[in-house]
Amino acid sequence: MSQVFPKSANAWSKASVLAIVFVLLSVGWMVLTIQRSDYVTTANQFIEQPVQFSHQHHSGGIGIDCRYCHTSVEVSPSAGIPPTKTCINCHSQIWATSPYLEPVRASFRDDKPLKWVKVHDLPDFVYFNHGIHVTKGVGCETCHGRVDKMPLMIQKVSLQMEWCLDCHRDPSRYVRPRDQVTTMGYQPAMAQAELGPRLVKEYKIAGLEHMTSCSVCHR
């Protein structure tokens, strides 16, 4: 009986061992890449809203401070979605007959909330508080990006745990003076490597052990 496998099969069988390793690594890489993709994190995706509100116009164009509408951002877990009344402050007169804003007027007239779609939605097993971040010098822009350049609101970051930890491991790379928190396009007045550690100390931002402890966010 002749040989079932030709002699070259020896080489093939050795190569296949490598191939298996390669395939396994590739599958692993693929899974991790998909897991981090915008498709899974919903980053950089435009979301249809009841009114296509432009932050670019209101924040960038007119220069309204973030806190004019997001009134509870300094003191509460939620930054605060403005009631329709806040829109009406100006739009009782400006664009007051525009069909584009009819949903806003209808909401105010009938006392029915506009059903805004949440863009930044953290999993429910994560505790997040805007107040502590803002009062410790984390700028709006640091997490939300250049909102003043967004005609439609999009999530600019992954909001995944590795992203949170990146800052929690060393916040000195990101913190800014408190009075610059809502500034868009902020440039530190001195080198961040010098300013950051100073602010971390001044604002009494907790150390690595506390900031990366599981129960800080999963409580």
Partner 1 sequence: MTNKPATRGPAVTFALLAAATLLFAGCRQDMHDAPRYEAYEASTSFADGRASRTAPVGTVARGWLRDDEALYTGKVAGQTVEQFPFAITHADLQRGQQRFNIYCTPCHGQLGDGNGMVVQRGLRQAASYHQDRLRQEKVGYFYDVITNGFGAMQGYAEQVPVRDRWLIVAYLRALQLSQHAPVSDVPADRRAELDAAPAATERH
Give dist(CA 97, CA 104) in Å, integer. 11
Which segment (10-18, 56-64, 149-157, 192-200) binds partner 1 by CB under 8 A?
56-64
Which segment (9-17, 46-54, 109-117, 199-207) binds partner 1 by CB under 8 A?
109-117
Per rule CB under 8 A, is residue 113 in the interface with partner 1?
Answer: yes
Output b/e per residue, 37-46; b: 16+ Cβ within 10 A.
eeeebebeee
Per rule CB under 8 A, is residue 151 in the interface with partner 1?
Answer: no
- CB closer to partner 1 out of 106 and 208: 106
Contacts 24+ apart (CB under 8 A), 60-65: 60/147, 60/148, 60/149, 60/184, 65/182
What distances in angstroms separate CA 187 from CA 10, 18, 141, one per listed residue?
A: 63, 50, 11
Per rule CB under 8 A, is residue 51 in the interface with partner 1?
Answer: no
Contact by Cβ (8 Å): 147, 59: yes
Which segment (6-14, 84-92, 164-172, 208-216) binds partner 1 by CB under 8 A?
84-92
Q: Residues in the site for partner 1, rule: CB under 8 A?
A: 27-28, 31, 35, 40, 62-65, 67-68, 71, 77-78, 81, 83, 85-86, 88-90, 92-94, 111-113, 115-116, 118, 123-125, 179-180, 182-183
